[in-house]
Chain A
Amino acid sequence: MKILSLSIKNFRNYKQQKADFHPEVNVIVGYNAQGKSNLLEAINYLSFFSSFRNARDMDMVRWGQSYFFIEGLIKKTVGEYHLSLGYNVDNKKVLKINGNQQKKVSDLLGVFNSVVFSPEDLNIVKTGPAARRKYLDKEMIQLFPSYYYTLLEYQKILTQRNNLLKEIRENKNKKEMLEIWNRQLINKGSRIIKKRLDVLQKLAPLARLSHRKITNGEEDLDINYESLALNQEKNLKNCSLEDIEAIFSLQLEKHFQMEIYRGITLIGPHRDDLKLAINGVDVRKYGSQGQQRTTALSLKIAELELVKSETGEYPVLLLDDVMSELDESRRNHLLLFIGNKVQTFITTTDLTFKQKGKIFFISQGEIKETESFPK
């Protein structure tokens, strides 16, 4: 999958710009605060219709303006697509494929796949569980748009249920009212867990393979799903949806008093984690900095491989400031993997590593194709 060109209007610090990209490597170079990450954000927006930096839509509208517009020409093996998105602060988003307006975000999710790799991702091994859940969920949303809806609904149930728990704690509501939310929590929560387990079964061997390659066969990476709802059942891989629902329900009963005391939902996929181990040792806690980074890199490469195996095409890779964060051997490994098969965008403030492809110089929201870094 490639993005051949991009037009943006009133997006972040870009007034109106258009760029034609190289099918392999595009280096986005410029001084700090010129708009390099903003450009990647615009490209990735066409995949998720939200910001990878968790910004609100209204904050991405150029200051003093009331709308932004992003249009990309996407090339897949099966054809070309014009993907466009208009966001107006007053109205909803308008999404179009080849000029035809689409009603739901889920109709457009998965049309254009792109994966961001930023220094933050390098930390997912050592930071909290939230980052690891986000890694898995983001990957899954691109591959299975309906998963997005399940997550949204689960989130709504959670908000309602947490509110109710607090009211019960303060004697403002009855304990019996919890049950009408429990059933939905278990239903949606179990679907999320089941889907994550299924995806992990494919993702884990891909990450293991990549990790072996980077470490010359010295390290074996194991990834396992850690779930409070499942109370660490041994045989997670063979769990059916019904099994998960049954264990989830039991766990919820067990934590009933504690949940009311705390006023929050303690059990469910929103509390789960990925256990990462190298040669049997938990890398999250005991890994060296280098091992943690290699693991993060392997997870990212596995993510790309999984998209490829599920959709038949590699996603577009967006490397935001990540090259300068990787040491030479890991950087080389990544470049070797990318080869000429993954269209890649690399932001950087210097051109220390020589690359084929196109170079774009970004200065105060202007994109200029260039041969080298202008001084």
Chain B
Amino acid sequence: MFNYYPAPVARLIDELMKLPGVGPKSAQRLAFHLLNAPEKDAVGLAQSIVNARQKIKQCSVCANLTEQDPCSFCQDITRDDRILCIVEQPRDVIAMEKTREFKGKYHVLHGAISPIDGIGPEQLTVAQLLSRLQGSRVDEVVVATNPNVEGEATALYLARLLKPLGIKVTRIAHGLPVGGDLEYADEVTLAKAFEGRKEI
């Protein structure tokens, strides 16, 4: 497609186009921005990508992204280990933290159940969740998956899975914008949603 560019430039554009939300036009713009920028900036970016990739892994307990394993949330003994908040993505942990409402522990699913995308419980960190719950003190699980049809289906699935284990399963209330992502919910609505959580 971009074979009229020198091979290294074409490759850079191709790689950038793999990023979410980046189309051919933006990819070209970004590529030329990087080529025109001072060399140390471009090298800095490249190194920080490599660095982050090599140092960051999934926490073996909660599956959040972390530098040390277990992550700081899992190691923090001041956090309540009887309540667990389940979210879809690492960025949702940050959104939840900003509300300062939640003082328990987290579990990151890395997605939601979606048959059309071929995502079922096996593709998520559900097995890891079950094994960490075994013999744990957790008595309430708050499901904070996104308020869209996939997030809702995932919440129902988790409720059916966890309730027989004697765990109370709640869902954050839907003060959230319809079809909206947790990430975009502002802190006040998210805090309210958390307060008004209901058992499912």
Contacts and interface: CB of A to CB of B under 8 A. Distances in A.
Interface of A: 90, 149, 152-153, 156-157, 159-161, 163-164, 167, 173, 177, 179-181, 183-184
Contacts of A167: 115
A61 to B, nearest CB: 16
B48 to A, nearest CB: 28
Nearest to B150: A160
B165 interface: no
B153 A153 contact: no
A160 B115 contact: yes
Given A153-B149, A184-B152, A173 B116 contact: no
Contacts of B116: 159-160, 163
B120 A180 contact: no
A180 B115 contact: no
Contacts of A173: 115, 120
Chain B binding site: helix, strand, loop or mixed by DSSP? helix
B40 interface: no
Contacts of A181: 153
Contact of A164 (B25, B115, B160): B115
Contacts of B113: 177, 180
A149 B178 contact: yes
Contacts, number: 44
A157 B152 CA distance: 10
Interface residues of B, number: 18
Given A156-B148, A160-B150, A179-B160, 12 more contacts: A149-B179, A153-B148, A153-B179, A159-B116, A167-B115, A173-B120, A180-B153, A180-B160, A184-B149, A184-B152, A184-B153, A184-B156
Chain A binding site: helix, strand, loop or mixed by DSSP? helix
B23 interface: yes
B157 to A, nearest CB: 5
Contacts of B154: 180
Contacts of B160: 179-180
16 contacts: A149-B178, A149-B179, A152-B179, A153-B149, A156-B148, A156-B149, A160-B114, A160-B150, A160-B153, A161-B115, A163-B116, A173-B120, A180-B154, A180-B160, A181-B153, A183-B156
A149 B157 CA distance: 23
B17 to A, nearest CB: 14
Query: Closest 10 interchain pairs by CB?
Result: A180-B156, A163-B115, A164-B115, A180-B153, A156-B149, A180-B157, A163-B116, A157-B149, A160-B115, A149-B178
Given A160-B116, A177-B120, A180-B113, A90 B25 contact: yes
Contacts of B120: 173, 177
A361 B179 CA distance: 44
Interface in B138-158: 148-150, 152-154, 156-157
B160 to A, nearest CB: 7
B109 to A, nearest CB: 14
Contact of B149 (A90, A160, A164, A179): A160
A164 B23 CA distance: 31
Interface in B102-118: 113-116
A149 B150 CA distance: 15
A179 B158 CA distance: 12
Contact of B156 (A156, A163, A179): A179
B21 to A, nearest CB: 11
B166 to A, nearest CB: 20
A112 to B, nearest CB: 23
A146 B150 CA distance: 20
A228 B16 CA distance: 50
Contacts of A164: 115
A47 to B, nearest CB: 21
Nearest to A168: B115
Nearest to A166: B115
Contacts of B23: 90
A346 to B, nearest CB: 38
Nearest to A156: B149
Nearest to A154: B149
